[in-house]
Amino acid sequence: MEFIGILCVILVTTTLSSHFSRRFGIPAVIGQLVVGVLLGKGVLDLIHPDLIIHDFSEIGVILLMFIAGIESDLSLLKKYLKPAILVAVFGVIFPVLLGWGTGELFQIDSIESLFFGIILAATSVSISVEVLKELRALDTKEGSTILGASVIDDILIVLVFSLSLSFLTKDTTSSSNLPLMLIEQVLYFVGIYLLVKWIAPYLMKLSQRLFANSAIIIVSLVICLGMSYIADFVGLSSVIGAFFAGIAVGQTKVKDTVQTNVEALGYAVFIPVFFVSIGLEVTFDQFFDQLSFVLLFTFIAVFSKLAGGFLGAKISRFSNNSALMVGAGMISRGEMALIILQIGNEAGLVEKRFYSPLVLIILLSTLISPLVLKAFTKRIYN
């Protein structure tokens, strides 16, 4: 029953923080992220990131991206596929190079520096999705480009990390599994096409004929969670599966019903836990000893994604403000960077003294992202 009390604390504090954040013109997600820092190891140490919180937060980010997929305009995503590819490619190249170079500046081992760059190349668009939804700019050319680029970025970073892991750790087993993983991922995207074209429409029609309570919502959640599970199984991020499941369901006639009910479920319970969980791991041990490292790498984290996204969008003939908005939407690192950091830490790629500072850098970039994105979005959509 302890978790019930913890969940109550999270829901009360995130609701209040969202209220006051919005009242002062700050994206609500900022308040929720700060709540996580305050309740976690870094300040009050009231809530610890255990398995139940992890599972709730996983469901939260999956539902968030499922909702984003439902709200996305498929024709816009297709239209802005080329800009999305360019934004994603430059959004990986810039952080890897600048992260590696900054690590060399601190005289950190070259392999470890390269791994730091790979961490910075990850993007977690879930935070940006929340801000875009709040500003009603998700279904725009910039919003569609950010969503498309984040999916491609996820695929690229999985490939880069998988290819480099055997080199970084001198382990040949992971490289031997790579061809099989790539085949599985190609088959997965074939499955996505079939899902959008035939499977989801058929299943949602079938759900309308079932006499079970909330059958439409249950079937849509099965599609969402099933696609997320399979994505994770083939080595992709679960949010990719959730996003495409949302797109598939969003093409059906029950779109509005599913969106209304899933939003109620997600925002009432799971999504607040996800945002809080990001801050729970943060500690301020050796913070002042590593202050220059944290500040410079945070700047590089923000600048590299902003510049990479800006350049990719400008090549695609976006205006300066639109390109800056796209770049800002790619800044947040969130759970994807934390996952890569954790895998690298377990593989011995991160010195102990750098682990907490890197978590803090990921969190700071995630905190800064909504503020920068809101500022550039408001230049275009007041």
User: Nearest 5 degrees, angle CA 321-CA 28-CA 368?
Assistant: 50
Instruction: Write the DSSP assignment of 289-322 as a string of letters.
Output: TTHHHHHHHHHHHHHHHHHHHHHHHHHTT--HHH
Identify which of 53, 66, 57, 67 has the alpha carbon closest to the alpha carbon of residue 227.
66
CATH of 2-380 among 3.30.70.940, 1.25.60.10, 3.90.230.10, 1.20.1530.20: 1.20.1530.20
**Strand, coil or helix: 106:** coil
Tens of pLDDT along the chain (382 residues)? 789 999 999 999 999 999 998 888 788 888 898 899 899 988 899 999 888 998 999 999 899 989 988 988 888 888 999 999 999 999 999 999 999 999 999 999 888 999 999 999 988 778 888 888 888 888 899 999 999 998 888 778 877 876 676 667 665 555 556 677 778 888 999 999 999 999 999 999 999 999 999 999 999 999 999 999 999 898 777 888 999 999 999 999 999 999 999 999 999 999 999 889 888 877 787 777 889 999 999 999 999 999 999 999 999 999 999 999 999 999 988 767 877 887 787 778 888 888 888 988 988 898 899 999 999 998 998 7
Query: Domain extents for the chain?
Result: 2-380
CB 273 within 8 A of CB 57: yes
User: Nearest 5 degrees, angle CA 246-CA 249-CA 253?
Assistant: 145
**What is the distance between the alpha carbons of residues 25 and 323, in angstroms, rounded to a whole number?**
23
Rounded to 5 degrees, φ, ψ at 39 are -85, -15
Residue 164: predicted pLDDT:
75
CB 36 within 8 A of CB 294: no
Cβ burial of 73 (10 Å; 0-12, 13-18, 19+) is middle
Rounded to 5 degrees, φ, ψ at 45 are 55, 40
Cβ burial of 122 (10 Å; 0-12, 13-18, 19+) is buried
Contacts of 316 (CB under 8 A, 6+ apart): 80, 82, 83, 86, 87, 145
Query: Helices 200-209 and 238-250 meet at what angle, rounded to 10?
Result: 60
